[in-house]
Structure 1
Amino acid sequence: MTQKPHDYPFPNKIDREHLHTEQPLDPLINRNLQRPNPLDPIGHIETEGRALRNLASGRMPLWVLLLGWSTIGLISFGILGLSLHQLTEALQMAIVQQQMDEVIFRLLSLIPMAVMSGLFLMILWRATWRRR
């Protein structure tokens, strides 16, 4: 005959020497760390995230940092310069023609480009200062 859980007798005095719990030392020991597959879409995103995380942490060789500045950095500076040039042209045309509608639309279209290139430059800047 089995007892229900609420029928178990609860001891009045608990001996703390006999109480114990069993826990593994490290919960990540049994976790299988797999490298993402860059050929499927989610794996590609994970691979890019891992690469940018390693770049921002400063744990990379000097040639990787220089290559990052020469590719990602130059492209980001070019995009920022181009967006600034387009914004100044739109402001100049708006002042001449007295129409601010085009400036607002141009500004809304340039914000995502500026944010993305700014984020890439911040990652490279952080990697450079952590490398020292």
Structure 2
Amino acid sequence: MTRRDDSDRLLPDYDLDKGKPSNEVPPNSRPVEYDRVPSGYEPIGQIELIGRVFRGLVRGRFPWWVLILAWICFGSLAWIYAYGAVVAIVVAFTSGAWISFAVYFIFFIAMSVMSAAFFSILWRATLAKLSNRKRGRK
């Protein structure tokens, strides 16, 4: 074939016979993984798994025993952080040095933020579970 015949065949304006029907078949494509479960062996995979657990917890679609167990595990951890924050602020105010006050105050802020995060997740999960239960009664 000549070069002109190749270009005519490959261009979109290629004139097909009007009498012959044509059928275009798309290439095979792999299915898209919409809900891929991340690997727990990699650091970013662990973060994704923990986020998945907390998102599921906040939506309220789980049995009651999961909520009670979450309050026992994560709630106790949050209370430990809150206790650490109170101890840090008491030690900060009783110590006379400004450097130690600053260190303990930063520790107090960090512990307060961590305990507030746990409490807010558990509180939202409880409210979601209670609202799902009310919707189910109607």
User: TM-score, with normalisation over the residues of structure 2?
Assistant: 0.65
Larger radius of gyration: 2
User: C-alpha root-mean-square deviation of aligned residues, in Å?
Assistant: 1.8
Aligned-partner Cα distance in 1 for 2:40–2:95: 46
Q: Summarize the alignment of residues 10-29 of structure 1 with structure 2, pairs less than 5 Å apart.
A: none
What is the CA distance between 1:31 and its match in structure 2?
3.5
Who is 2:107 aligned against?
A: 109
The number of residues matched between the two structures is 101
Aligned-partner Cα distance in 2 for 1:124–1:55: 8
Who is 2:92 aligned against?
A: 90
Instruction: State the identity as a percent.
Output: 32
RCO higher in structure (CA 8 A, sep ≥6): 1
Structure 2 unaligned spans of 5+: 8-30, 131-138
What is the CA distance between 1:107 and its match in structure 2?
0.6
User: TM-score, with normalisation over the residues of structure 1?
Assistant: 0.67
What is the CA distance between 1:70 and its match in structure 2?
0.3
Q: Summarize the alignment of residues 1-132 of structure 1 with structure 2, pairs less than 5 Å apart.
A: 31-33=32-34, 34-94=36-96, 99-132=97-130
Q: Deviations over 1:87-124 (max 9, x none)?
A: 11220233xxxx43321221113322221221011100
Who is 1:23 aligned against?
A: none
What is the CA distance between 1:86 and its match in structure 2?
2.2
Aligned-partner Cα distance in 2 for 1:57–1:44: 20
Contact 2:70/2:122, CA 8 A, preserved across alignment:
yes
Aligned-partner Cα distance in 1 for 2:99–2:46: 39
Aligned-partner Cα distance in 2 for 1:101–1:36: 43
What is the CA distance between 1:81 and its match in structure 2?
1.1
Aligned-partner Cα distance in 2 for 1:124–1:63: 13
What is the CA distance between 1:128 and its match in structure 2?
0.6
Aligned-partner Cα distance in 1 for 2:49–2:119: 19
Aligned-partner Cα distance in 2 for 1:58–1:92: 43
Q: What SS does structure 2 have at the residue aligned with 1:32? A: coil
